[in-house]
Amino acid sequence: MRTFVRGAAMWDVECPRRPTRTAGVTMAGFRVRDLQALRIVPYPAVTLLLEFGAGSPVLDCAAGRQQPGSFVAGPGLGSGGAVRAWGENVECVQVRLSPVTARAILGASPADLDGAVVSLGDLWGREASRIREQLGEVPSWQDRFALTDALLARRCEAGPPVDPEVAWAWRRIVGTRGLARVDGLAAEVGWSRKRLWSRFRSQLGLPPKRAVRLVRFDHAAHRLVAGEGAARVAADTGYADQSHLHRDVMAFTGATPSTVAGEPFLAVDDIAWPSRGTTAMPHISRELRPGRRPEVGRAPL
């Protein structure tokens, strides 16, 4: 277990030694003695948080609503800078689920979350309590990762997959780091624009245009955290200019690019998700040809 320090933030972080058996699933373990009003920065994945420690994390959401304990949240949690996390003696496994994989694992479409934070107990019933007990009983973090991995693999096999065309469009957006031409996605999969937009939104939880913005923002935000200047980041990540980047960062986080560059929520990724999880560049083994349906492989989604 490594210790992450960023300003006043100090967390213990553990990573799995083996990759998960389910494509589009990554996880990390956290132990935090004093979690102080951490700004949640939007990320292009579904967040599944499994807590099991003596304390309990609490999310302060929009309109003053609080969500304690284990939860699930759709892609873009924290948009507008309205969500903070806090707690004492927090121990948890945080899982990032590609929206493509999340539908099967959750037993519900990310669209059903509608951008909200949902208690895992409300979604999975008694299984959520059993998971908490099991995670607390196993002796090591690697055992907790193995337990979580087995659970998610079992649920994924039993759940409904998304359409191959929708999965391919998501991979295209992620693979180009948000630079894909949205209007061209439907033509590339051989569907009408209306059909792809409807299926994409209903199965993944956000429309293609917002998916492009979220993936592009995530890539730009991590480059800001790495110390790159805003002008260079804007030029390299597809923004019209630095002002365009500034507006997008403000819209997603409620903060300026210079403030976001210091956010612990992003900086910890170098330890917790060194390969950047669901935003890692996937390998798309075959381009579409006329009349060919896209195929969903085992690459990260």
Condensed to tens digits (0 to 9), the pLDDT of residues 61-110 reads 877 789 999 999 999 899 999 899 999 999 999 999 999 999 999 998 88
Return the pLDDT at 259.
95
Condensed to tens digits (0 to 9), the pLDDT of residues 151-169 reads 999 999 999 999 999 999 9
From the list 110, 151, 166, the residue with the least C-alpha distance to 20 is: 151
The count of other CB atoms within 10 Å of the CB of residue 89 is: 14
Which regions of the chain carry the CATH code 1.10.10.60?
164-279
Is residue 221 within 8 Å of residue 266, measured between CB atoms? yes
Rg (CA), the chain: 19
Burial (0-12, 13-18, 19+ Cβ within 10 Å), 190:
middle
To which H or E segment does residue 203 belong? helix 193-204
Band of residue 298 on the pLDDT scale cut at 50, 70, 90: very low
What is the Cα 74 distance to its own chain's centre?
Answer: 8
Is residue 212 within 8 Å of residue 178, measured between CB atoms? yes
Mean pLDDT score of the chain: 89
Token pair, residue 289, equals 């040809």
Place of tokens 């213990």: 12
Token pair, residue 75, equals 């892609």
DSSP assignment of 211-232: HHHHHHHHHHHHHHHTT--HHH
Condensed to tens digits (0 to 9), the pLDDT of residues 175-219 reads 999 999 888 999 999 999 999 999 999 999 999 999 999 999 999
The count of other CB atoms within 10 Å of the CB of residue 2 is: 10
From the list 16, 100, 86, 38, the residue with the least C-alpha distance to 58 is: 86
Assess if CATH 1.10.10.60 describes domain 164-279.
Answer: yes
From the list 13, 27, 280, 12, the residue with the least C-alpha distance to 151 is: 27
Return the pLDDT at 276.
60
Cα 200 to Cα 39, 89, 193: the distances in Å are 28, 39, 10
Average pLDDT over every residue of 132-158: 96
Band of residue 115 on the pLDDT scale cut at 50, 70, 90: low
Is residue 85 within 8 Å of residue 73, measured between CB atoms? no
Report the sign of the C-alpha dihedral through residues 251, 257, 172, 271, in that order. Answer: negative
Return the pLDDT at 122.
93
Residue 228 CA to residue 153 CA, distance in Å, equals 38
Residue 277 CA to residue 181 CA, distance in Å, equals 23
Residue 70 CA to residue 120 CA, distance in Å, equals 6
Which regions of the chain carry the CATH code 2.60.120.10?
2-158
Residue 33 CA to residue 35 CA, distance in Å, equals 7
Band of residue 113 on the pLDDT scale cut at 50, 70, 90: confident
> Distance between terminal CA atoms of the chain?
27
Quote the DSSP letter at residue 89: E
Find all residues with CB under 8 Å of 271, minimum gap 6, and list them. Answer: 2, 4, 13, 15
From the list 142, 123, 131, the residue with the least C-alpha distance to 51 is: 131
This prediction has a pTM of: 0.90
Give CATH superfamily name and number for 2-158.
Answer: Jelly Rolls (2.60.120.10)
